[in-house]
Amino acid sequence: MTSQAASSLLCSSRCLASALRNWSSPVAAFQCAINAAFSAQAQAATAASDAPSTSGRGGAAAAAAPRAGPKAPSGSTTKKSPTSSSSSSSPRQTPSTSSSTSAAALAAAASHLAPCRLSQYVHTVLHRELMLKLGPRGWDQVPRLVAVEARVRASETHLATEEVDKWELLLYSLALETLTGRTPTFTPPANSKNSATRAAGVFLRLDARSDPDAVYGFLEKLVHVVLPNQVGFAGLPPPTLVGPPPGDKAAAAAAARAAANDHRRAPLRPHATEFRVSNLLQYPDFEQNFWLFEQLGGMRVRLVMEGASAADCGLLLSGLSLPVLTGAAAEAALAELAQEALRRGRTAA
């Protein structure tokens, strides 16, 4: 063991001893624990740098040995200048500093504060590829994801009723919170005066502008874990243009004003697609706790996008590794969504 490794162990022991003495002061104990951890990192880096080189070039100590100067005659001693000693000791401090920096970077990347990988891919790769493929006149004309909505209706669960008590939907609320990391809300019933205690389902909307990590983290779970385990899942229905709700004059007026103020040659318009996840029990967290989530069924996911056309939004979905249906399968999926919307409208009326 080298002298620097021994000093690192001594520093670690001293820091831990100081942490035990300052147990009544949590801040001081925490600082000493950090110093001990970095001392251990310095010890590992020193051991790696002092190890014999397999390339035949030798380590840092072997490289510094020939530059020590001419050998002094026997019986005489030579004094080292302060400049040479400081210059020779500075390279040995580099491995510990670099190892501490790399350890801090790895810890930050592994923490919950690190951005989602899919979010990094979208902002660094996908947007550039869309610009090269579509050739827009500006960056603001590239199709983008606006929001992701997840919904569990009471009528599509084992309860099989339109309105239930809120406590009966707590299991599904917990499932959505597990998948997204955000707390969902209860959907108010359509024809009920007891909205304080009854609900028609649970609903959650994630905004890609204000909370991108939650949006792309949820999509990453869908793309790589949930959807590959769904039996019979072929793809998403093609995106369709989203208009104001029928009968809502305020929304129609707001959409007209936004279209009039948009002077771009190809303005971005809202598009959406919706699909159903039939079995959530294939998700590992639910599968490991099957005794708790045994009654869990599926959910509906709606993706809201902005794009100049439905084809541009389809390219965005393909870039997110979400397959889009085409041909007769796409027409059948769109017809099923239209029938579901019509049935929902009748229920609300």
At residue 2 the predicted structure's pLDDT band, cuts being 50, 70 and 90, is low
CB 280 within 8 A of CB 299: yes
Q: What is the pLDDT of residue 300?
A: 94
44, pLDDT greater than 90? no
167 and 297 assigned to the same domain = yes
Q: What is the pLDDT of residue 54?
A: 41
Q: Rounded to an integer, what distance in angstroms lies between the CA atom of residue 36 and that of residue 9?
A: 9
- Residue 86 forms part of a structural domain: no
Place of tokens 């905004």: 207
Give the pLDDT mean for 263-280. 84
23 and 159 assigned to the same domain = no
Beta bridge partners of 147: 207, 304
267 and 149 assigned to the same domain = yes
At residue 41 the predicted structure's pLDDT band, cuts being 50, 70 and 90, is low
Which of 45-59, 181-195, 273-287 is predicted least confidently? 45-59
Sequence letter at residue 107? A
Q: Which residue range forms the structural domain that includes residue 6?
A: 1-40
The model's pTM = 0.65
Q: What is the pLDDT of residue 187?
A: 92
Q: Rounded to an integer, what distance in angstroms lies between the CA atom of residue 128 and that of residue 198?
A: 47
- Residue 124 forms part of a structural domain: yes
- Residue 257 forms part of a structural domain: yes
Place of tokens 């793809």: 235
- Residue 111 forms part of a structural domain: no
Contacts of 53 (CB under 8 A, 6+ apart): 59, 62
Q: What is the DSSP code (8-state) at residue 313? A: H
Tokens standing for 140?
């603001």
340, pLDDT greater than 70? yes
255, pLDDT greater than 80? no
At residue 125 the predicted structure's pLDDT band, cuts being 50, 70 and 90, is very high
HSE (side-chain half, CA atoms, 13 Å) at 29 = 8
Q: Rounded to an integer, what distance in angstroms lies between the CA atom of residue 157 and that of residue 111?
A: 36
- Residue 85 forms part of a structural domain: no
Residue 317, domain CATH: 3.30.1440.10
- Residue 79 forms part of a structural domain: no
Instruction: Compute how many other C-beta atoms are within 10 angstroms of the C-beta atom of residue 304.
Output: 20
Q: What is the pLDDT of residue 69?
A: 47
User: Is residue 268 exposed (0-12), middle (13-18) or buried (19+ Cβ within 10 Å)?
Assistant: buried
Tokens standing for 191?
């024809």
Give the pLDDT mean for 197-203. 92
Q: What is the pLDDT of residue 88?
A: 45
Q: What is the mean pLDDT of the chain?
A: 75
Place of tokens 């302060």: 82
- Pairing relationship of beta strands 185-187 and 198-199 according to DSSP bridges: unpaired
Percent of the chain with pLDDT over 70: 63
Contacts of 227 (CB under 8 A, 6+ apart): 233, 277, 322
Place of tokens 């592994």: 110
125 and 18 assigned to the same domain = no
Q: What is the pLDDT of residue 224?
A: 92
CB 303 within 8 A of CB 317: yes
CB 11 within 8 A of CB 39: yes
Q: Work out how many domains the chain is built from and give that number.
A: 2
Query: pLDDT tens, 129-177?
Result: 998 988 877 777 889 999 999 999 998 898 888 889 999 999 999 999 9
Q: What is the pLDDT of residue 112?
A: 54
b/e per residue, 123-148, with b = 16+ CB within 10 A? eeebbeebeeebebeeeebbbbbbbb
Give the pLDDT mean for 227-237. 89
Which of 75-89, 94-108, 178-192 is predicted least confidently? 75-89
Q: What is the pLDDT of residue 154?
A: 92
